[in-house]
Amino acid sequence: MTDVIWSRIHDPAEPMFALGAYVQGKLTGITHYLFHRTFWTAGDYCYLQDLFVAESARGLGIGAALIAAVENDARARGASRVHWLTREENAVARGLYDKLAERSGFIQYRKIF
């Protein structure tokens, strides 16, 4: 799966992207995001699928900076929103997310194949 994802990220025809954050030359944070159509707006939605910051670099603003970079890219591409999911028990991340965005009130259901 790594090869598939890597090829998608580097394919200009794919709506999938990755960003990294570095502190003193060391990769300390990453995010993956993608664009998708919606029935509700003319602009695509941007789904921030993954956000990770190394434990040693948390509290430095890296997560917020990565979210801001995704938002900037989404706005530049004409998207109408950025959205993401997190686990209910992820209190640390939710503390950040509550400062940066509003909760949608939706509960996710899924069927995995």
Q: Quick check: is 26 in a domain?
A: yes
**pLDDT tens per residue across span 31-85:** 999 999 999 999 999 999 999 999 999 999 999 999 999 999 999 999 999 999 9
The DSSP symbol for 43 reads S
- Determine what percent of the chain is predicted with pLDDT higher than 70: 100
Q: Domain containing 54: what range? A: 2-100
Question: What contacts 71, CB < 8 A, 6 or more positions away?
Answer: 46, 82
CATH code, domain with 63: 3.40.630.30
User: What pLDDT score does 99 carry?
Assistant: 96
Contact in structure between 49 and 34 (CB atoms under 8 Å): yes
**Tally of domains in the chain:** 1
CA 69-21-65 angle, to 5 degrees, is 35
pLDDT band, residue 113 (cuts 50/70/90): very high
Q: Quick check: is 29 in a domain?
A: yes
CA distance 88 to 108: 11
- pTM for the structure as a whole: 0.92
